[in-house]
Amino acid sequence: MVCHGLTLLRLRCAWQWVGASGGDIFWANNNDENGSRTRLFTRARWRYVWGMSSFSEDDAFEAAAVPLSQRAMARPSAAYLDGLNPAQREAVETLSGPVLMLAGAGTGKTKALTTRITHLLATGTARPHEILAVTFTNKAAREMKSRIGGLMGEAVEGMPWLGTFHSVCAKQLRRHAELVGLKSNFTILDTDDQIRLMKQLIEAAGIDHKRWPARMLSGIIDGWKNKALTPDKVPVADSGAFDHKGVELYAAYQRRLLDLNAVDFGDILLHMVTIFQKHEDVLDQYQRWFRYILVDEYQDTNVAQYMWLRLLAASHKNVCCVGDDDQSIYGWRGAEVGNILRFEKDFPGAHVVRLEENYRSTPHILAAASGVIAANKGRLGKTLFTSRTDGEKVRLIGHWDGEEEARWIGEEVEAMQRGTRGMAPLGLDHMAILVRASHQMRAFEDRFLTIGLPYRVIGGPRFYERMEIRDAMAYFRLAVSPEDDLAFERIVNTPKRGLGDKAIQTIQRTARSNGVSLVEGARLVCQGKLLGGKGLKELTFLVGSLDRWHAQVRAEADTHVELAEMILDESGYTGFWQNDKTPEAPGRLENLKELVKALENFENLQGFLEHVSLIMDNETEEQGEKVSIMTLHAAKGLEFPAVFLPGWEDGLFPSQRSMDESGVKGLEEERRLAYVGITRAEEICTVSFAANRRVYGQWQSAMPSRFIDELPEDHVEVLTPPGLYGGGYGAAGMAASASPAMAGMVGSDLHEKAHSADVYNSPGWRRLQSRSQQRGMAMPSEARNMTIDMTAVSAFTEGERVFHQKFGYGEVIGIEGDKLVIEFDKAGSKHVVAQYVVSADKADDVPF
DNA sequence: GCTCGTCCCATTTTT
DNA sequence: TGGGACGAGC
């Protein structure tokens, strides 16, 4: 069956035509060298060919083989080109040959990228399936899809090859799995499975797993995979770890994965690179197929991704890479800035377009960011500019310690929320606190909880990485394929069935000696009564349940959603969490519901399992106005009117560890992180640092970050009162001698005092407090109290059992002002705002 | 096999 | 300081 000569423009016509007829027959007009032809498609066929439901690659291969004639294509009224600046327009319209789009922060990168795809489609230069467009995140892929749809005026469903590196590669790999010894229904392991597997291998190799933890091996192997190194290609110099058995373990791990018909994230790309290198015919097909390639966030590509791209682009070289070398912050994960720096060498004659007009931030913010990043060497170089002339300088403030920093930011957030210094009130959704490391978040969470400021933490464990989701998935995996040993290991004793290490060893031994899967091994154990009492009974029941579920999956007797619910129910897993009285239990049950809901979007369990590990998001769209707290890494790609950047202290940011491990390279990456942080801000950017901070329970003092010295003074307003720390600084002090002046704050005896327990009684501390208050840095507590709803407190009585979203269950032991004093079962005694507390008996109703 | 106490160690984490 | 891993004891 051949279907070709269609662009989305035509697709639109076809839809309209059908809409008018209301029939089930599609009409498609082909204009190509073969002349005009009219074909009839059924709706199902149409969807099939264009990948709207299940995409058939064979059809598309055929389609791609037919050259497309552009002359017959109607040129669209290119309304989508309006509103592009000259650079963007150049990036959009230079369709042939390699293009590097250097897009600074906030310069309309996504706009240019999506318009470029639209342009390819609308001019008939390429058909949807001839475009390969890769991103790093599902979010970015979704965004691109919807924006292209917006530009085209139609939902774009027919772009089968727009997705993340991993989803696109997984799709390819399912097609060619047998070339690397896999079956096309291979499972994709998550990190947890990976580590459990490696642990087994380490123990089997007789290596001390304490000295060489599985986590480390996992990191090392991931690193090799990121570099596209198969076990036979790992350089000798890299093989010192694990008693020189690292490479051996890697090879063993890869063999084990093949046995399990499984891959890890790294393999998805590595296998495809291997296939392309070894099977020219396959590569050739794809090369002809993907006539245009687009890559988002090119600076974040690792070696494997780079090789994959180069192989695919090698023949036609119509590759457009978009990125910003200044925002490369994933080097520690294998990303190679070198890829983007080398682009012009890799693709001679490459057209480089710089997007430098920023539409996000004020000039001061841009200047500050530029000032910092200028210290990096070996940049491709961009100068961001804006037509804006308004805006505040970047604000800089020092604090005595981390707690005060959190307190100050809390108050500042509340002030902005009310509207401050003539500025309009700002919603909490428009403010963000960006930290270097996630442990810094705690200070803010504690503080915000205390003052009753709603916040949301972005990041943290992904939805599908949560324990309960993995457990549930393991049950589903087993129901679909009983030979999934890893899944069996995971759930055999979850919920508790009295099947501990010994029972599991018996099962494994039996399975191994009979050459069968663990489920079959378990069956033999039951039959041979190789276990005693309770364990045997439970195991027999489990094996029986698994059989039943598997039969139901095959019979398709129930819908997969009902089946999933049944599995969770009958396994006792739902009940397990219902009986669990820890504060997390309600949330976990909620997550399980979410998981079942997510199933509805798939046709069956198999389909769900094949894709879910690549596409499940953590986007539980909580509604409500909340300040966001997240890491700088998580903030990439986002923007907020007001941004707080706390913890700018040497050692914390830039992180000591980065500098120790990667030297100048590490420092430069940290600096890019600073650049990313500053450029997230649209209107107000506040950088802060603390002289003292409790790290692992120890007080430590630190120098202000060297990045603070790099902020150009003309664009910075120092909020810290002059003379506060005994150094004559402020704007003038900074000008005189930036670094020593800022460092002066901790250079005195206060420094030493910080280490002692009576720090709060030190003269320096008292001086700081009184000055802070004089200058309005800390808002008097009376003022804050006025905004608190006192009735909330009165809703509780002493002795009442309550539930708190963070601290769990506890008992009210008193009421002090606007706070409840609660003795928590787990967390001890705390003062908390009533707003976050409910009666214990209502705890189940609250969707915390 | 489970629970509790002790000890150890601690970035960033798109898939 | 606090969470996770592990080993001793029930």
pLDDT tens-digit series, residues A341-373: 999 999 999 999 999 999 999 999 999 999 999
pLDDT in tens, A508-532: 889 989 999 999 999 999 999 888 7
Note whether A369 and A339 are within 8 A (CB): no
**Distance between CA atoms of residues A462 and A552, nearest Å:** 30
With b for 16 or more beta-carbon neighbours within 10 A and e for fewer, the A96-107 pattern comes to eebbbbbbbbbb
Residue A519's Cβ-count burial label (10 Å; 0-12, 13-18, 19+) is buried
Q: How confident is the model at residue A412 (pLDDT cuts 50, 70, 90)?
A: very high
Q: Which domains does chain A have, with CATH numbers?
A: 81-186+264-357 (3.40.50.300), 188-260 (1.10.10.160), 382-454+624-718 (3.40.50.300), 465-581 (1.10.486.10), 800-842 (no CATH)
Best-predicted range by mean pLDDT (A192-206, A507-521, A609-623): A507-521
H or E element that contains A679: helix A656-679
**Distance between CA atoms of residues A835 and A789, nearest Å:** 9
Q: Do the strands A640-645 and A681-695 form a parallel or antiparallel pair, or are they unpaired?
A: parallel
Best-predicted range by mean pLDDT (A278-282, A658-662, A765-769): A278-282
The residue to which tokens 């495809």 are assigned: A272
Q: How confident is the model at residue A25 (pLDDT cuts 50, 70, 90)?
A: very low
**Distance between CA atoms of residues A346 and A378, nearest Å:** 17
**Distance between CA atoms of residues A174 and A170, nearest Å:** 6
3-state secondary structure of A717: strand
Q: Is the CB of A209 under 7 A from strand C?
A: yes
Enzyme catalytic residues of A: 109-110, 296-297, 327, 680
What's residue A291's pLDDT?
94
Q: Which residue would you say has higher pLDDT here, A406 or A782? A: A406
Q: Phi/psi at A186 (nearest 5 deg)?
A: -55, 150
Find the largest Cα–Cα distance for chain A: 91
Closest CA to A163 of A578, A753, A615: A615
What token pair was written down for A566? 């049944």
Determine the distance between A502 (CA) and C9 (C1') in angstroms.
18
The residue to which tokens 């499940």 are assigned: A616
Determine the distance between A400 (CA) and C1 (C1') in angstroms.
20
Q: Phi/psi at A175 (nearest 5 deg)?
A: -75, -35
Determine the distance between A442 (CA) and C1 (C1') in angstroms.
12
H or E element that contains A689: strand A681-695
What's residue A826's pLDDT?
58
Q: Phi/psi at A817 (nearest 5 deg)?
A: 60, -125
Binding residues of A, as ranges, are 103-110
Q: How confident is the model at residue A82 (pLDDT cuts 50, 70, 90)?
A: confident
Q: Which residue would you say has higher pLDDT here, A61 or A587? A: A587
Where is average pLDDT lowest: A107-121, A149-163, A641-655, A696-710? Answer: A149-163
**Distance between CA atoms of residues A734 and A731, nearest Å:** 5
Instruction: Tell me the nt nearest to A695, Cα to C1'.
Output: C1
What's residue A26's pLDDT?
28
Q: What is the mean pLDDT of residues A162-181?
A: 95
Residue at minimal CA–C1' distance from B1?
A: A500
Q: How confident is the model at residue A199 (pLDDT cuts 50, 70, 90)?
A: confident
- Average pLDDT in chain A: 79
3-state secondary structure of A65: helix
Instruction: Indicate the residue type of A325.
Output: D
Residue A232's Cβ-count burial label (10 Å; 0-12, 13-18, 19+) is exposed
H or E element that contains A803: strand A801-804
100-159 on A, CB < 7 Å from strand C:
none
| Residues in a beta bridge with A357 | A385
Q: What is the mean pLDDT of residues A541-566?
A: 92
Closest CA to A227 of A308, A293, A124, A324: A308
Instruction: Indicate the residue type of A781.
Output: S
Q: How confident is the model at residue A611 (pLDDT cuts 50, 70, 90)?
A: confident
Q: Which residue would you say has higher pLDDT here, A634 or A423? A: A634
Q: What is the mean pLDDT of residues A552-562?
A: 87
- pLDDT of A766 strictly over 50: no
Note whether A38 and A47 are within 8 A (CB): no
Angstrom CA distances, A22 to A9, A25, A164, A610, A803, stand at 20, 9, 36, 35, 56
Closest CA to A190 of A522, A477, A517, A544: A477
- pLDDT of A224 strictly over 70: yes
Percent of chain A with pLDDT over 90: 50
Radius of gyration of chain A (CA): 30
Instruction: Indicate the residue type of A106.
Output: G
pTM, two decimals, is 0.79
Q: What is the mean pLDDT of residues A629-646?
A: 95
Determine the distance between A451 (CA) and B8 (C1') in angstroms.
35
Q: Do the strands A162-164 and A319-323 form a parallel or antiparallel pair, or are they unpaired?
A: unpaired
Q: What is the mean pLDDT of residues A823-832?
A: 66
Residue at minimal CA–C1' distance from C5?
A: A210
Note whether A752 and A763 are within 8 A (CB): no
**Distance between CA atoms of residues A355 and A363, nearest Å:** 16
Q: Where are the beta strands (DSSP E) in A584-650?
A: 627-631, 640-645
Determine the distance between A210 (CA) and B7 (C1') in angstroms.
13
Q: What is the mean pLDDT of residues A373-381?
A: 91
**Distance between CA atoms of residues A693 and A547, nearest Å:** 56
- pLDDT of A133 strictly over 50: yes
Helices A265-278 and A165-176, packing angle to 10 deg: 50
Where do runs of H (alpha helix) occur along A279-335? Answer: 280-289, 303-313
Q: What is the mean pLDDT of residues A82-87?
A: 90
What token pair was written down for A200? 């087994």
Q: Which residue would you say has higher pLDDT here, A620 or A258? A: A258
What's residue A835's pLDDT?
64
Q: What is the mean pLDDT of residues A65-73?
A: 38
Q: Where are the beta strands (DSSP E) in A611-659?
A: 627-631, 640-645
Instruction: Tell me the nt nearest to A827, Cα to C1'.
Output: C2
Binding residues of A for ATP, as ranges, are 103-110
- pLDDT of A276 strictly over 90: yes
Q: Could you tell me if residue A106 is left (phi over 0), alpha (psi between -120 and 50 degrees) or otherwise beta?
A: left
Where do runs of H (alpha helix) occur along A433-559? Answer: 441-451, 467-480, 485-491, 501-514, 518-527, 533-555
Q: Which residue would you say has higher pLDDT here, A767 or A693? A: A693
- pLDDT of A817 strictly over 70: no
Helices A560-570 and A533-555, packing angle to 10 deg: 180
Note whether A331 and A676 are within 8 A (CB): no
**Distance between CA atoms of residues A17 and A39, nearest Å:** 14
What's residue A642's pLDDT?
96
What's residue A805's pLDDT?
59
Note whether A568 and A597 are within 8 A (CB): no
- pLDDT of A626 strictly over 60: yes
- Contacting residues for A372 by C-beta, under 8 A, at least 6 apart: A671, A674, A675, A678, A707, A710, A711
Nucleotides of C under 7 A from a protein CB: 1-2, 6
Instruction: Tell me the nt nearest to A219, Cα to C1'.
Output: B13
What's residue A837's pLDDT?
72
Instruction: Tell me the nt nearest to A195, Cα to C1'.
Output: C5
723-762 on A, CB < 7 Å from strand B:
none
Note whether A105 and A679 are within 8 A (CB): yes
| Residues in a beta bridge with A684 | A642
What's residue A644's pLDDT?
97
